[in-house]
Structure 1
Amino acid sequence: MDPRREWFETDYYAALGISSDASDKDITKAYRKLARKHHPDSSAGDEERFKQISAAYDVIGDSDKRAAYDEARRLGPAGLGPQMGGFASGPGGFSIRIEDLGDLGGIFGNLFGDGRGRAGRGGSMPMRGHDLETRLGISFRDAVSGAVTEVAVPDASTGGMRHVKVRIPAGVDDGGRIRLAGKGSAGSGGGPNGDLFVLVDVAPDADFGRDGRNLTVSVPITFPEAVFGADVKVLDFDGNAVTLRIPPGTPAGKTFRVRGRGVTTRRGTGDLLVSVDIVVPTKLSSAEQAAIEALRDVTDFEGRSGRRQREADPEPATFADTAGAQR
């Protein structure tokens, strides 16, 4: 369909579910919500609906195109004249030439040419392509270590989808935004392409968490280990063993810091924060039960007397490499 005719026959505001007086911010908000819902990579994706949403945003998401589109719609349901260089309206067949529309004619001329395969007056104005935005789900490990993958975005030249390679930087955060320069919509009249922005959704990991550049993990210890202290083996994110020295009297939830075993980014490398979790046994041998009962009988516990808990910074941990050499 000729783009000028499509403007008359398609309500881009309705395609995004907004009113014609919506603000630029509301237009972008509506587009992002619908694009996230209907993106072909999502579980409920609808490629045809995604194309409609993208086409609408390509016009009314651009202030210059939106102004021309609104004015074209205001002129009414005028069928395009047979010469395609102006608009004809009603049984009387009056015509309006682009040259007679003043500033608006300049906008139409620059956007579409004069209808005879020629640019508008003064030649076609270079216009930058529209920026595109899409979402990408990645694993926790790819977010920490970095990866190369692809995303699918609308291709206006074919009406289908095109695949764009995305390099995921090591240490990208959940909700991070990756900019791919020149990978958006194609420019017109020799103008540059727009950019593609990829919003990253990071899946959770079964063992590790993130706190900025730091990785977090929980390690179980026994009650005797918490009371008397112990050296406990912990695996870092790469599977290397480190030895965590638990001091006597360590409370549940205490956090220890293993330096340099976190996420590496361009800004530096974080640490591994290890929290201890005291495991309470659910099945006891007769000897264990007798020992715990004896402990209960001699324990004078004052821990529920309302003392304020102190919040201490994570303490540095002494650890060893996989060979067991102390560092």
Structure 2
Amino acid sequence: MSTKDWLEKDYYKVLGVSSSAKPEEIKKAYRKLARENHPDANPGNAEAEKRFKEVSEANDVLSDQSKRKEYDDARKLFGGGGFRFPRGGNTAGAGSMDDLFRNASGGGGESFSDLFGGLFNGAGRSSRTTSSNGRGPRRGTDIEGEVTIDFVQSVNGVTVPIQMVSDAACSACHGTGAKAGTVPRVCPTCQGSGMQTSTSGGVFAVTEPCTDCRGRGMIVDDPCPVCHGSGRGKSTKNMQVRIPAGVTDAQRIRLKGKGGAGENGGAAGDLYVVVHVRPHPVFGRKGDNLTLTAPVTFNEAALGAEIEVPTLDGPAVRIKIAAGTPNGRTLRVRGKGVARRDGSRGDLLVTVEVVVPEQLSEQAREALGSYAAAAGTTDPRQALFAKARSASGAGAG
């Protein structure tokens, strides 16, 4: 790869981020693409291996603040017209970008690396090392699981057992990737670092995953028949997970460091638990408040009464129904709702539902007839018709 080609690569496009992307965006994009295209996950896939190299190369530059600045400056310089070549009849002085790089360190003047300070690990600058043993730490994979709990447990919190299947070290080869009785050898190309550095014209140094060991730093001559040389295998483990009070249905809880184990001293991944909450036959939820529909008789609503209603996990409470309470009115019982983080609790919202009897005795009918006569013949729908006529008239006008 020529220096010209290397400079003109759009690393932002490789990672699928904008040129103004924040470091955490770059990190997230790299991790996703690296997982998808890692040689261990795509054995024998040359296209994935090529893509993995491109992604690693882009991340090596964009994840380093100083390298990224130099890269951006260089792109502005060459892409924004920082250099001008003569045009017209004076062909002796005319040149191309290829000519510039080909002659950059040629006699007499300052070399290209002198002019631009060794961009991207240029001549005279050593590339970053990984760790004392040549292989850098690798963070463990994130794991996602699901758990279903009762409504009461979601309100008060609960500790539940959960069984997880994680990508741990292969039990047959203990993570070496080599067949029992054999051991992998250090890659002679990268000396176990998993990375190799190539130079272009003596000006730039490019660090990328080693092509011989595919970034692992070790070469397995006799692969493990269980994991096929990857060193990874599926394992099942049980753990106790604390579901906090107040969790909602479909909420995703992150448990830091409870995911897959890291490699070479790398941090463990995270465990994400998606919580499903079974509905309650009586209570509902609205934010930190619990909801309840309480049926009342016509007499209780009209004359007023004091009734008992249940609470989620405690004794019943008495609430007062004022005389003339309409159907659908909501009454509040303080402190009988969902537990909050600060230790307080939400409220219980009780909605009144006036129950109309489906059958009446003859005596009840006579009593209601007497009530209707005593109450008068006022039509409660007069206002409804008045509003409808008013709206119709306004529309016609």
State the TM bucket, normalised to the shorter chain. 0.5 to 0.7
TM-score normalised to structure 1 length: 0.59
**Pairing of 1:139-288 with structure 2 (within 5 A):** 139-157=150-168, 159-267=234-342, 268-288=344-364
How far residue 231 of structure 1 moved from its aligned partner, in angstroms, is 0.7
- Asked whether the 8 Å contact 1:164–1:183 carries over to 2, the reply is no
**Pairing of 1:83-122 with structure 2 (within 5 A):** none
Change (3 A) 1:77 1:23: closer
C-alpha separation in 1, matches of 2:234 and 2:358: 62
Q: Which residue of 2 aligns with 1:63?
A: 33
- Asked whether the 8 Å contact 1:62–1:130 carries over to 2, the reply is no
Change (3 A) 1:161 1:130: same
How far residue 136 of structure 1 moved from its aligned partner, in angstroms, is 1.3
Change (3 A) 1:61 1:125: closer
Change (3 A) 1:301 1:184: farther
- The AA in structure 1 aligned to 2:139 is R
Count residues in correspondence: 217
Q: Report which of the two structures shows the higher radius of gyration computed on alpha carbons.
A: 2
Higher RCO structure, 1 or 2 (CA under 8 Å, sep 6+): 2
- The AA in structure 2 aligned to 1:242 is V
- The AA in structure 1 aligned to 2:162 is V
- The AA in structure 2 aligned to 1:65 is R
How far residue 159 of structure 1 moved from its aligned partner, in angstroms, is 2.2
1:131 is aligned, of 139, 142, 157, to 142
- Asked whether the 8 Å contact 2:290–2:348 carries over to 1, the reply is yes
- The AA in structure 2 aligned to 1:257 is R
1:291 pairs with 2:367: yes
- The AA in structure 2 aligned to 1:194 is G
C-alpha separation in 2, matches of 1:304 and 1:234: 33
Change (3 A) 1:171 1:223: same
- Asked whether the 8 Å contact 1:135–1:201 carries over to 2, the reply is yes
- The AA in structure 2 aligned to 1:176 is Q
Change (3 A) 1:153 1:224: same
Gapped regions of structure 1 (runs ≥ 5) = 1-20, 25-59, 79-100, 108-118, 309-327
Cα deviation per residue 1:132-168 (whole Å; 9 max; x = unaligned)?
1122111101001111102222133362422221111
Gapped regions of structure 2 (runs ≥ 5) = 1-13, 18-29, 61-129, 169-232, 386-397
Q: Secondary structure at the match of 1:205?
A: coil
C-alpha separation in 2, matches of 1:202 and 1:61: 32
Q: Which residue of 2 aligns with 1:12?
A: none
**Pairing of 1:22-41 with structure 2 (within 5 A):** none
C-alpha separation in 2, matches of 1:62 and 1:77: 13
How far residue 284 of structure 1 moved from its aligned partner, in angstroms, is 1.8
How far residue 181 of structure 1 moved from its aligned partner, in angstroms, is 1.5
The sequence identity of aligned pairs, in percent, is 37
- Asked whether the 8 Å contact 2:288–2:346 carries over to 1, the reply is yes
C-alpha separation in 2, matches of 1:77 and 1:294: 87
Q: Secondary structure at the match of 1:282?
A: coil
C-alpha separation in 2, matches of 1:250 and 1:214: 22
How far residue 261 of structure 1 moved from its aligned partner, in angstroms, is 1.1
Q: Secondary structure at the match of 1:197?
A: strand
Q: Secondary structure at the match of 2:144?
A: strand
C-alpha separation in 1, matches of 2:285 and 2:234: 40
Q: Once superposed, what is the RMSD of the aligned Cα atoms?
A: 3.4
Change (3 A) 1:182 1:244: same
C-alpha separation in 2, matches of 1:22 and 1:73: 23
Cα deviation per residue 1:62-88 (whole Å; 9 max; x = unaligned)?
33333444997552799xxxxxxxxxx
- The AA in structure 2 aligned to 1:129 is G
Change (3 A) 1:164 1:77: closer
C-alpha separation in 2, matches of 1:217 and 1:258: 11
1:75 pairs with 2:46: yes
